[in-house]
Amino acid sequence: MENLKEKIIFPLDFPTLKEALNWVERLKPYVGVFKIGLELFVKEGPRAIEEIKKKGANSVFLDLKLFDIPNTVSQAVKSAQSWGVDYLTVHILAGERALKEALKAAEGGLKILGVTLLTSLDKADLLELGFNGELLYKTEDLVYKLTLIAHRVGCDGIVCSAKEVSLIKTSFPHLLIVVPGIRLEEETKDDQVRTATPYEAIKAGADRLVVGRPIRLSPSPEATCERIFEEINRALKEKNV
């Protein structure tokens, strides 16, 4: 169960720390990694990291998706490290030098995860941003290209959608692959476009799953976590892990 817990990342997308802490208390038997995003961080500041750790979270994932010049990224990584963060996201589009500085600042302590492409961007957005040609028509190729940079500089892992995970895991087996947009079969997709079930995502090569609303909106979040464990187990068994 300990190992399975580490595979589930629960986003603490709540407006107050009080609410976030209640969810940590409730889910800590099932979830190993709690994710603090912009919503909570901007509202409550870095004390949220401390409080969530104190509440018993195994690991804290600070999802700030840093995108700035190398020196600024480096200083932000050092601060995150001093607050005891375990995982931190940096946009790969911030460039190779920013990623290298992030890794240098992390000194092998906290794990740096490269964000490939926001799943909210569609083809029209990418065209508007200046992406064209083949990269525009096959977003997997763009995600591959970005992952290649993350791999080359030594990032610990990347974040990508379920659509690309198989290609990425096959090409970069040692990178930690984090996949959001996880849905259980009978659910709606909400605003997620490229979704997969826990079973499908793990089978395709995901190492960690970001699961928010399927747990949060479930009539029984604990039962949903058990179901996710069952799916992860089934996929791992079929893969002979």
**Which part of the chain contacts ligand C5P (CB under 6 A), choosing from 91-99, 123-131, 141-149, 174-182?**
174-182
Listed residue (47, 63, 42) closest to 115, CA to CA: 63
Contact 125, 96 (CB under 8 A): no
Contact 207, 7 (CB under 8 A): yes
Query: Does residue 227 touch ligand C5P according to CB under 6 A?
Result: no
Question: Catalytic: which of 7, 18, 55, 65?
Answer: 65
Query: Does residue 213 touch ligand C5P according to CB under 6 A?
Result: yes
State the amino acid at position 182 in one-letter form: I
Report the Cα 168 to chain-centroid distance in Å: 15
Contact 105, 82 (CB under 8 A): no
Comparing CB distances to ligand C5P, the nearer of 69 and 118 is: 118
**Which part of the chain contacts ligand C5P (CB under 6 A), choosing from 20-28, 90-98, 179-187, 218-226?**
179-187
Minimum Å gap between C-beta 38 and ligand C5P is 8
Comparing CB distances to ligand C5P, the nearer of 70 and 169 is: 169
Beta bridge partners of 179: 209
Q: Which residue has the tokens 């970001």?
A: 210
Q: Which residues bind ligand C5P (CB under 6 A)?
A: 11, 13, 37, 63, 118-119, 159, 180-182, 190, 192, 210-214
Q: Which residues are catalytic?
A: 65
